[in-house]
Structures are given as structure tokens and as C-alpha cells.
């Protein structure tokens, strides 16, 4: 019997190893085929085709290291802003492209699909229309982001049973203080800046008056910009659009047509039939002549550059100490890359695209140090995306010139320390702790007890010092009076429009404007060669990412429970990213989700 069980277990183990190896080889082959397919891919664009832009994706700043959807035959989960803008620019002059069709609904994930990114994409759509080609936007259930983009079209259509949801902008943070009290989790903090509200979710049960004030001003700036652009495109007054948001909010197709937010109401099959006629397709089994945005982007990819060039470096995500993980800006990793680019004589200028709420103060300083050194030998231009706040502003301050969008969230010049303890929670569970130490504050960073008043005073001194350094750096870099910087700092967030007025940025404009400016400074012209960083990953790195990706693949649209889980995961990730060795941060409020 023992031999039988031994043989059985041995056979099962061999089978597991065999199938694991088979899956691994299969994955390698899939990636290899995908890579080969990408290299050999040539998109055939028929004359008279429409460029089909399916918006069911997340618009990101940085390019994807690999599109996992390609392996599973699914739509791309993300689309790089710069590549999409370049494709629209190319298509506007491409004689084979007769027009543009927008369908679907944007997916906002992480720091993607921000209003700052959408503004640049919207400008590219408007330029396509200005080139004399029709732009048709077909909507089903459109939110504010979708409609903001679609309103740039020459023809906006809505499904008869569709809806436009445009109730305005809102920020609704989650507060944990009550739950922490109930479970026995202690929270202590130190901070500088009355508007530095990142600690509020853990210490309060509602917004402080200062936080409410800054959020109201910020959202008001963003909303005013959105209404202004929509009103210009649709020929409506800002007052009328505000009335729509205040009195309608959820608009049926009939109401949207009556209020002139759309041009017509029709079913999708009617649109397809119409486009078939326009593109000369008579077969009932065929759709209209079209090329997808993804395929057209691949066809217009300029490839790598050689010789004198601009390095476009993406700083997207939370700034963390150490190497950092995917979706984070690791101080060590990022500094190493900047150092290499500084020492590369073929790199004539650096454009830093920032889309970050900040994070670790020490990591932010490490990155800023490398950028300051780089600026001594070549131009360094910053393009701010959706977020360039707190640590995101810290790393931007010393650049040669700063570009921001009106809807960029920036500023937040402030510092805080946040500390948790589980002494009460542990006591409720029957756990206790004892300590042996060689000095009074040897266990100052323990989670097992709250900090003493003396320890908080020590930490506050360090927080004050970091804040003074932050303010001084901004004053020096931006050539502003220290007192003036203290007045606009205080941890307060500002829109890009307000930041321009306050002297925190130099110019309103998108990524391409920043690249063009860097090209002029480096004497490379308005259309310089650009190489993007971080680099594409090697096969082993891709496989590691692939296994992690498969663990979180969703096979359906998220429901209420899924969305709640995603929200909690986001909060956990933000808390988990707080890894500054001294517990001190220059970061945007922990949860500034604009709905």
C-alpha cells in the first residue's frame, strides 16, 4: 500500500511539473508569436476608410510594456496618449482616411484618462475635424469624460435608449477614523500646512473646512474649463450647460437632442448602414471600410531614433523609496535612469512627463537631485499630466520650463507624517507586548504602541525641516519670494490655470508643446527625434508581469461589490506605498477621486 501511494504521489507530482512546464512553454511561445506578429505587422488601409477609435480603454501617459489583451484576443486595456495623438495627426493628412468614428466609453483606471490627458486628445480630434474630415461620435451611456471628448466631433449621435450622465464633478473621499476607533487602531500624525489633508481620511470623519475650501476651488476650476470647451464646440452658453448639470444631470436621448447636446438620435445599425454607403460597401455581410485606432497606431509607429534626440521620461504613479514596482516611481530606479540619460551625449534634452500625486519625500529629493544635475548639462522640460502634486511638484520645480494643462492638479506643497499603532486592537485580541531597549526612543517606529509627546515633537521638527526645504526649493527654482511661496503652499492643491497665475508653472500646454520647446532649446527643431523611457521589458520580465496580470484578469464588467473591492484595493495600495524610511511624505490627499 505504501509503495502504491508513493507511486501515485510521484506520478501526480510528475504530471504537475509536466503541465506547469507545458504552460510555461506555451506562454513563452505566445509572447514570442505576439512579438513576431508585432514586428511583421503591416496594416492595410483601404482608400476611403474611416479611422475607428474605440474608447473602451484607459488613456495613459506611459506606453504599455506589453498588451496582454493581444494574447487573449481582447481589446487593449490601455492606450498611450502620445501615440493616439500622433495617429490622429497622421490620419488627418492621410488621403486614405475619409473620417473618424468615436465609439465606446472611456475607462479611468489609476491615474489614466485624466481630464488633462483628455484635453490633449480632444485637441487632436478637433484638429482632425479642422482638416476638413468628418468626426462622428456615437454614444450609448456617456459620462462627463465621454461627452467632453465627443463634443469635439462634428456629428454627435446617441442611441435611442442611451443616456448622457453629466451632473458635474464631485470628490467624495473615504474616511476611516470611525472604523479605526471601532477596531482599536490608533493614528497619530504630524504635518505642516493647514490644507495638507492627506491625513484626514485616517483622523477625521468628514472634510475639514480648509480641505472643503480647496476641493471646491479645484473642482470649480476644472469644471469651468470643461464647460468652456464644450460650450465653444457645441455653440451653447456656459450658463445653459450649467443649467443642464443642475436641473437634468441624467439626460435621455430625447432630452439631449432638445438641449442641443447631440445632433441626432439613431441606432448603431443605422450608423453602420450610413457609413457603408459613404465608404462604398454594398455587401450585407460586410461592415463599412475602417481601420482601428490600435492598428493604425502600429502602422504609424516611427520606431526608434538614433543620433541627437530628446529623452521622454514618464514619471507616472506614486513616488516610493527603493526600486518601486509596476505603476510606481521608485527613487533608486528612476534616479539611475536619469543619471544614465544625463551622461548620454546623444540625449540633447530631457522631457519629464509627470503624472503623480507624490509620495516619499526622500525618494522625491533623490529624483530631483538627478534632474538638477541634468539641467546643468542639457535642457530639462516638464510636462504635467493629470497630477503633478506634492512630491510630483517637488521633482518638477527645478526644470528649465514647466508646462501644465488647465485641468492639471498640482501644488500641494506641504509635508506630513502618519503613524499607526495596534496596541488597543492587540489588547482586544488578548495580545500584549514588552520591550527591552538601550535608549529612550529606540522603539519609536513600532506599531505596538502610540508615540509619546516627546517623540511626536522630535518627528514634528523633522517634518518642519522638510517643509522649509520644500518651500525654499520652490522659491529658488521658481524665482519667487519665500514668503509668497509660504502663502500659496500650506499643502494646498491648485489647478493648472491657478498654478500659472501663481507662478508655479510657466505655460499652459500639453506634452507635444513641451517636446517642441525642448527641441528648440536643444536646437533640434520643432519635430525632434524622441525616445521614450522606461524601456521595453525583456522576455523574463514580461513573463513575471504576465503571471501577475493573469491573477487579476476580470471576465466581466465590475458590479457594485467589485467596485467597492477595487476602491479598497486602491486605498490599500496607497497606504502600502507609504514606505519612506522616516515616515515623512509630500503627497496629494490619499483619495482624491473625481467622479
Separation of first and last alpha carbons in the chain: 64
Q: Would you say residue 1 has pLDDT above 50? A: no
Cβ–Cβ < 8 Å for 594, 170: yes
Q: Which long-range contacts (CB under 8 A, 24 or more apart) does 233-242 make?
A: 233/126, 233/151, 233/152, 234/151, 234/260, 234/261, 235/260, 236/260, 236/261
Cβ–Cβ < 8 Å for 566, 558: yes
The confidence score (pLDDT) of residue 188 equals 94
Q: Give the pLDDT band (50/70/90) at residue 18.
A: low
pTM of structure: 0.84
Give me the mean pLDDT over the 176-189 stretch: 93
In this structure, of 512-521, 536-545, 570-579, the range with the lowest mean pLDDT score is 536-545
Q: Would you say residue 460 has pLDDT above 90? A: yes
In this structure, of 93-107, 470-484, 531-545, the range with the lowest mean pLDDT score is 531-545
Q: Is 503 helix (H, G, I), strand (E, B) or coil?
A: coil
Cβ–Cβ < 8 Å for 491, 467: no
Residue 373 CB-density burial (10 A; 0-12 exposed, 13-18 middle, 19+ buried)? middle
**pLDDT > 90: percent of the chain:** 71
Please, what is the average pLDDT of the chain?
Answer: 86
For 171, 199, 513, the CA distances from 82, given in Å and listed in that order, are 28, 35, 12
Best-predicted range by mean pLDDT (3-12, 235-244, 414-423): 235-244
* Helical H segments across 75-143, by residue range: 81-93, 115-130
Q: Would you say residue 261 has pLDDT above 90? A: yes
Q: Which fold has domain 46-166+248-299?
A: 2-enoyl-CoA Hydratase; Chain A, domain 1 (3.90.226)
Q: Which residue has the higher pLDDT, 19 or 257?
A: 257
Q: How far, in whole angstroms, is CA 90 from its chain's centroid?
A: 25
The confidence score (pLDDT) of residue 492 equals 96
Q: Which fold has domain 309-587?
A: 2-enoyl-CoA Hydratase; Chain A, domain 1 (3.90.226)
For 218, 367, 407, the CA distances from 494, given in Å and listed in that order, are 6, 23, 9
Q: Would you name the residues annotated as active-site residues?
A: 196, 390
Q: Which residue has the higher pLDDT, 108 or 352?
A: 352
Give me the mean pLDDT over the 407-412 stretch: 97
Q: Would you say residue 305 has pLDDT above 60? A: no
For 5, 60, 63, 468, 485, the CA distances from 474, given in Å and listed in that order, are 71, 28, 30, 10, 7
Give me the mean pLDDT over the 292-303 stretch: 80
Please tell me if the domain spanning 46-166+248-299 has the same topology as the one spanning 309-587: yes
Q: Which residue has the higher pLDDT, 19 or 517?
A: 517
Give me the mean pLDDT over the 13-31 stretch: 52
Q: Would you say residue 71 has pLDDT above 50? A: no
Give 110-127 pLDDT, tens digit per residue. Answer: 889 999 999 999 999 999
Domain boundaries, the chain: 46-166+248-299, 309-587
Amino acid at each position: 500500500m505504501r509503495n502504491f501511494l508513493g507511486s501515485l504521489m510521484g506520478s501526480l507530482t510528475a504530471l504537475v511539473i509536466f503541465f506547469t512546464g507545458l504552460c510555461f512553454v506555451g506562454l513563452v511561445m505566445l509572447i514570442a508569436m505576439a512579438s513576431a506578429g508585432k514586428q511583421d505587422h503591416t496594416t492595410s488601409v483601404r482608400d476611403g476608410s474611416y479611422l475607428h477609435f474605440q474608447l473602451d480603454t484607459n488613456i495613459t501617459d506611459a506606453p504599455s510594456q506589453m498588451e496582454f489583451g493581444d494574447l487573449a484576443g481582447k481589446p487593449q486595456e490601455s492606450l498611450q496618449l502620445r501615440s493616439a495623438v500622433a495617429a490622429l495627426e497622421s490620419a488627418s493628412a492621410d488621403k486614405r482616411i475619409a473620417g473618424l468614428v468615436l465609439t465606446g466609453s472611456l475607462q479611468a483606471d489609476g491615474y489614466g484618462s485624466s481630464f488633462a490627458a483628455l484635453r490633449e486628445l480632444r485637441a487632436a480630434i478637433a484638429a482632425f475635424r479642422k482638416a476638413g474630415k468628418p468626426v462622428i461620435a456615437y454614444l450609448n451611456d456617456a459620462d462627463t469624460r465621454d461627452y467632453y471628448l465627443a463634443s469635439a466631433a462634428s456629428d454627435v449621435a446617441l442611441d435611442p435608449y442611451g443616456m448622457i450622465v453629466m451632473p458635474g464633478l464631485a470628490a467624495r473621499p473615504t474616511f476611516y477614523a470611525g472604523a479605526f476607533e471601532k477596531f482599536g487602531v490608533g493614528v497619530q500624525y504630524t504635518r505642516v500646512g493647514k490644507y495638507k489633508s492627506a491625513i484626514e481620511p485616517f483622523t477625521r470623519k468628514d472634510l475639514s473646512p480648509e480641505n472643503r475650501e480647496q476641493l471646491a476651488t479645484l473642482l470649480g476650476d476644472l469644471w469651468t474649463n470643461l464647460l468652456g470647451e464644450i460650450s465653444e464646440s457645441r455653440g451653447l452658453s456656459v450658463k445653459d450647460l450649467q443649467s443642464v448639470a443642475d436641473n437634468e444631470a441624467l439626460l435621455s436621448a430625447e432630452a439631449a437632442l432638445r438641449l442641443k447636446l447631440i445632433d441626432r438620435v439613431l441606432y448603431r445599425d443605422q450608423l453602420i448602414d450610413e457609413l457603408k454607403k459613404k465608404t462604398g460597401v454594398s455587401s450585407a455581410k460586410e461592415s463599412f471600410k475602417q481601420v482601428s485606432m490600435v492598428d493604425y497606431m502600429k502602422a504609424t509607429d516611427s520606431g526608434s531614433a538614433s543620433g541627437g534626440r530628446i529623452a521622454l521620461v514618464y514619471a507616472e504613479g506614486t513616488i516610493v523609496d527603493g526600486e518601486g514596482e509596476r505603476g510606481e516611481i521608485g527613487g533608486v530606479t528612476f534616479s539611475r535612469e536619469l543619471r544614465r540619460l544625463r551622461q548620454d551625449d546623444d540625449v540633447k534634452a530631457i522631457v519629464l512627463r509627470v503624472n503623480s500625486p507624490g509620495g516619499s519625500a526622500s525618494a522625491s529629493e533623490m529624483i530631483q537631485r538627478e534632474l538638477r544635475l541634468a539641467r546643468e548639462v542639457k535642457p530639462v522640460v516638464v510636462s504635467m499630466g493629470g497630477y503633478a502634486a506634492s512630491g510630483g511638484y517637488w521633482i518638477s520645480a527645478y526644470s528649465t520650463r514647466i508646462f501644465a494643462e488647465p485641468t492639471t492638479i498640482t501644488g500641494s506643497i506641504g509635508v506630513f507624517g502618519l503613524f499607526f499603532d495596534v496596541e488597543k486592537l492587540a489588547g482586544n485580541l488578548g495580545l500584549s507586548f514588552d520591550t527591552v531597549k538601550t535608549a529612550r526612543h529606540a522603539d519609536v517606529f513600532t506599531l505596538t504602541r502610540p508615540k509619546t509627546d516627546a517623540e511626536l515633537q522630535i518627528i514634528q521638527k523633522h517634518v518642519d525641516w522638510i517643509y522649509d526645504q520644500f518651500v525654499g526649493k520652490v522659491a529658488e527654482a521658481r524665482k519667487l519670494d519665500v514668503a509668497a511661496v509660504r502663502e500659496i503652499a500650506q499643502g494646498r492643491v491648485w489647478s493648472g490655470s491657478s498654478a500659472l497665475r501663481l507662478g508655479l508653472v510657466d505655460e499652459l500646454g500639453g506634452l507635444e508643446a513641451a517636446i517642441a520647446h525642448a527641441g528648440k532649446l536643444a536646437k533640434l527643431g520643432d519635430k525632434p527625434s524622441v525616445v521614450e523611457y522606461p524601456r521595453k521589458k525583456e522576455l523574463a520580465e514580461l513573463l513575471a508581469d504576465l503571471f501577475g496580470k493573469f491573477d487579476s484578469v476580470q471576465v466581466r464588467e465590475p458590479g457594485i461589490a467589485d467596485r467597492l473591492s477595487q476602491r479598497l484595493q486602491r486605498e490599500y495600495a496607497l497606504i502600502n506605498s507609504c514606505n519612506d524610511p522616516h515616515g515623512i511624505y509630500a503627497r496629494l490627499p490619499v483619495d482624491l477621486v473625481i467622479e
